[in-house]
């Protein structure tokens, strides 16, 4: 197993997410170090404190320089070549927070019994990819710049998706993901310790209100953005809320649609007609709660936002946002009469599943008969 985790946090909001991502890595090392099918776990990180802490869990770690122009594919290829790896399970540091060791065992066994195979959690936007032979990546002419494109780069191998579970589909990229992770009863001890020290308001209260609405039969829940159909099915099979779904621009990053301003959003077209206030008023008319992948909207509006602005928008803190358009959007989302929860791709895919699981596991909800499975 090869894990990459790093970055250059430049704001308080980014440091918040980084602290949780580091905790996810340590909890994963603790879980996966016990998987007998793995020959070893290698951690490559820009964070010296994380590299030191990883040693307590039996992982071999290496600190790499922090660079803004980090080329993922070249770095992974060097690891494969230097270590003469035959089969690889790559994981982004923020993925697998809720993944069971048995899922990694399945992946490792699948690779061990195959000669030409690639398994990924999401072909269009991957952060967990197992593949054999590992040398296949070395033969690729155009190595992927980010791990999101790794599965598509290796799609010439015999490939299939990993089983769709909360563990394989949820990762922590944004403050919204941090808050969603905090709802789940199965978070690891390192994550639990970090979450207990963070201030996530006012957005966290909005998320909890949206979660509450999802548990009410026949409530109207609106989900917008790069929404996975399987995530919607997951909700429909387990809860009695009514789902209003608009899915657009799936694979936006992996397909390179962010380049050249090719992202087009129906939501963005609505904003151009009625403005941000009009958008919020429309959402209030059709929904009791809204989960929105704002990255599609930002790209439609040609906003090249730094992580600081994106993350503070997720936290519903407009005063901390420099970009005036993003600040206005966030101000209107915060003023809504219904809970609107902004975030990225994970919020409306794996995050939906985490919210559902947290409701199903809620003793009070079970006793009230709400949020029950359909029969």
> How confident is the model over 6-23, as pLDDT tens digits?
999 999 999 999 999 999
* Helix orientation angle between 12-32 and 307-314, rounded to the nearest 10 degrees: 80
Range of weakest confidence among 26-35, 136-145, 252-261:
252-261
Instruction: Return the residue matching tokens 């985490």.
Output: 354
**Are β-strands 60-63 and 42-45 bridged in parallel, bridged antiparallel, or unpaired?**
parallel
What is the pLDDT of the chain when averaged over all its residues? Answer: 92
Q: What is the pLDDT of residues 303-339, one digit of tens each?
A: 999 999 999 999 999 999 999 999 999 999 999 999 9
Residue 353 gets the label, from left (phi > 0), alpha (psi -120 to 50) or beta, of: alpha
Residue extents of the structural domains in the chain:
2-169, 175-367
Strand order in the sheet with 128-132: 60-63, 42-45, 2-5, 88-92, 128-132, 117-120, 159-161
- With the CA atoms of 121, 124, 129 and 132 taken in that order, what torsion angle do they form, in degrees rounded to the nearest 10? 120
What are 34-78's pLDDT values in tens digits? 999 999 999 999 999 999 999 999 899 999 988 778 899 999 999
pLDDT band at 356; cut points 50, 70, 90: very high
Lowest mean pLDDT among 301-310, 312-321, 351-360, 366-375: 366-375
Average pLDDT over residues 356-360: 93
pTM of the model: 0.91
Q: How far, in Å, CA of 137 to CA of 343, rounded?
A: 32
Residue 116 has pLDDT above 80, yes or no: yes
CATH placement of domain 2-169: 3.90.550.10
The answer to whether residues 187 and 26 touch, using CB atoms and an 8 Å cutoff, is no
């Amino acid at each position: 197993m090869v894990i990459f985790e790093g970055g250059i946090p430049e704001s308080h909001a980014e440091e918040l997410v980084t602290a949780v991502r580091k905790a996810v890595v340590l909890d994963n090392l603790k879980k996966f170090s016990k998987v007998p099918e793995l020959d070893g776990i290698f951690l490559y990180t820009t964070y010296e404190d994380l590299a030191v802490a990883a040693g307590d869990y039996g992982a071999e770690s290496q600190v790499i320089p922090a660079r803004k122009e980090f080329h993922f594919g070249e770095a992974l290829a060097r690891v494969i070549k230097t270590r003469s790896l035959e089969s690889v399970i790559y994981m982004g540091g923020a993925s697998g927070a809720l993944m069971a060791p048995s899922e990694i065992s399945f992946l490792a066994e699948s690779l061990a019994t195959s000669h030409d195979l690639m398994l990924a959690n999401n072909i269009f936007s991957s952060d967990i990819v197992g593949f054999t032979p590992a040398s296949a990546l070395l033969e690729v002419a155009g190595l992927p710049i980010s791990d999101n494109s790794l599965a598509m780069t290796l799609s010439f191998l015999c490939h299939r998706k990993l089983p769709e579970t909360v563990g394989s589909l949820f990762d922590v990229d944004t403050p919204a993901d941090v808050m969603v992770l905090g709802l789940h009863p199965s978070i690891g001890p390192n994550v639990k310790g970090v979450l207990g020290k963070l201030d996530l308001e006012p957005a966290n209260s909005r998320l909890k209100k949206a979660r509450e609405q999802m548990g009410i039969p026949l409530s109207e829940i609106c989900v917008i953005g790069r929404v996975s159909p399987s995530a919607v099915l997951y909700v429909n099979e387990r809860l009695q809320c009514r789902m209003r779904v608009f899915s657009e621009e799936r694979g936006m990053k992996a397909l390179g649609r962010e380049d050249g301003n090719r992202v087009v959003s129906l939501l963005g077209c609505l904003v151009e007609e009625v403005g941000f206030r009009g958008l919020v008023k429309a959402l209030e008319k059709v929904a009791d709660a809204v989960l929105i992948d704002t990255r599609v909207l930002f790209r439609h509006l040609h906003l090249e936002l730094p992580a600081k602005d994106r993350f503070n928008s997720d936290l519903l803190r407009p005063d901390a946002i420099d970009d005036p358009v993003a600040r206005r959007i966030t101000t209107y989302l915060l003023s809504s009469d219904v809970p609107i929860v902004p975030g990225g791709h994970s919020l409306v895919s794996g995050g939906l599943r985490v919210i559902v699981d947290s409701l199903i596991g809620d003793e009070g909800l079970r006793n009230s008969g709400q949020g029950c499975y359909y029969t």
